[in-house]
């Protein structure tokens, strides 16, 4: 354990002790406190999350401070992302009547998740913040609170429950459907929203870790020529997986934002 933590802290380079054979990377390696201890220790993902927030805020403010009718280069980049969230997600899903109120939330969600996910493969950071379940839960909790509050405010308790039941359902199965829908709306949705992001980032990064550490072990610590070949193959696979991982990271940012918009739209609409 001590060696793997060391390895992870020093940039995932050192493999486990050569005397012990290969130790597969474990989920524990994602816990990397910088100082403090216990539940309130300041961890590496916290630092990264703060850095990402500062970077995003600085970039967005700098590129939009002098927002012009004819955009410059930076403003153009920001506007591409903003357009994508505003028109591609918010307007399409929530509808052009009320979407503008939720654009800041969705845009911030998208930027935050995208940047933090990409931290998983960008060299100086190389740690997917969303691979620590606390962050996805924080974001999902926020979305959850917003869409539940919206639904209750719009429809009232009774109206909300009524809106969960599709029209024209036989009375006999209404309680069953209601139960399932309540589970869906109050449990499944937020949990999957958080865990999908977490699971993808966590598993993806663990996989990369496994390929890189395994490759290194076979390359430099194991005996035999064939092990060197396997190690090289492992490295090549790791490179390919990294490219795939970038795709997944962007896709997950899109999915999270889109699902948040979908849930909000569900709360705003009268019908099921």
Q: Which residues between 5 and 34 bind another protein (CB under 8 A)? A: 5-6, 9-10, 18-24, 27-28, 30-34
Q: Least Å distance between CB 177 and another protein?
A: 18
Q: How far is 177 from 182, CA to CA, in rounded Å?
A: 8
Q: Least Å distance between CB 178 and another protein?
A: 20
Q: Judged by CB, which is closer to another protein: 137, or 268?
A: 137
**Residues in a beta bridge with 265:** none
Q: Which stretch binds another protein (CB under 8 A): 3-11, 156-164, 168-176, 239-247?
A: 3-11
Residue 265's CB: how many other CB atoms inside 10 A? 19
Backbone angles phi, psi at 223, to 5 degrees: -90, 155
Site for another protein in 79-118 (CB under 8 A): 79, 82, 92-93, 100, 103-105, 107-108, 111-112
Q: Which of 99, 119, 127, 135 binds another protein (CB under 8 A)?
A: 135
Q: Exposed, middle or buried by CB within 10 Å (0-12, 13-18, 19+), for 92?
A: middle
Residue 251's CB: how many other CB atoms inside 10 A? 12
Residue 36 is classified by DSSP as S
Site for another protein in 215-254 (CB under 8 A): 217-218, 221-224, 227, 251, 254
Q: How far is 42 from 135, CA to CA, in rounded Å?
A: 14
Q: How far is 64 from 73, CA to CA, in rounded Å?
A: 11
258 near another protein, rule: CB under 8 A: yes
Site for another protein in 48-77 (CB under 8 A): 49-50, 53, 56-57, 60-61, 64-65, 67-69, 71, 75
Q: Least Å distance between CB 156 and another protein?
A: 27
Assess contact for 154 and 272: CB atoms under 8 A: no
Structure token pair of residue 82: 């903003």
Q: Least Å distance between CB 91 and another protein?
A: 12
132 near another protein, rule: CB under 8 A: yes
Structure token pair of residue 70: 């004819």
Q: Which stretch binds another protein (CB under 8 A): 118-126, 131-139, 159-167, 264-272?
A: 131-139
């Amino acid at each position: 354990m001590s060696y793997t933590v060391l390895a992870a802290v020093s940039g995932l380079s050192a493999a486990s002790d050569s005397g012990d054979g290969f130790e597969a990377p474990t989920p524990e390696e994602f816990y990397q406190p910088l100082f403090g201890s216990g539940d309130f220790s300041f961890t590496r993902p916290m630092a990264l999350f703060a850095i990402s927030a500062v970077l995003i805020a600085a970039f967005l403010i700098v590129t939009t401070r002098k927002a012009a009718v004819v955009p410059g280069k930076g403003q153009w980049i920001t506007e591409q992302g903003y357009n994508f969230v505003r028109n591609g997600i918010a307007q399409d899903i929530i509808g052009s009547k009320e979407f503008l109120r939720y654009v800041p939330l969705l845009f911030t969600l998208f930027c935050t998740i995208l940047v933090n996910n990409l931290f998983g493969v960008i060299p100086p950071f190389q740690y997917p913040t969303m691979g620590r379940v606390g962050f996805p839960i924080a974001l999902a909790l926020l979305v959850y609170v917003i869409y539940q509050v919206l639904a209750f405010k719009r429809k009232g308790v009774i109206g909300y429950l009524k809106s969960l039941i599709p029209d024209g359902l036989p009375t006999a199965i209404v309680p069953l459907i209601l139960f399932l829908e309540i589970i869906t709306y109050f449990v499944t949705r937020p949990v999957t929203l958080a865990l999908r992001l977490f699971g993808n980032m966590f598993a993806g990064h663990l996989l990369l870790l496994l390929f890189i550490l395994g490759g290194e072990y076979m390359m430099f610590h194991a005996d035999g020529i064939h092990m060197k070949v396997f190690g090289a193959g492992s490295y090549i696979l790791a490179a390919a997986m990294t490219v795939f991982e970038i795709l997944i990271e962007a896709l997950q940012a899109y999915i999270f934002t889109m699902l948040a918009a979908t849930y909000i739209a569900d709360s705003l609409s009268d019908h099921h």
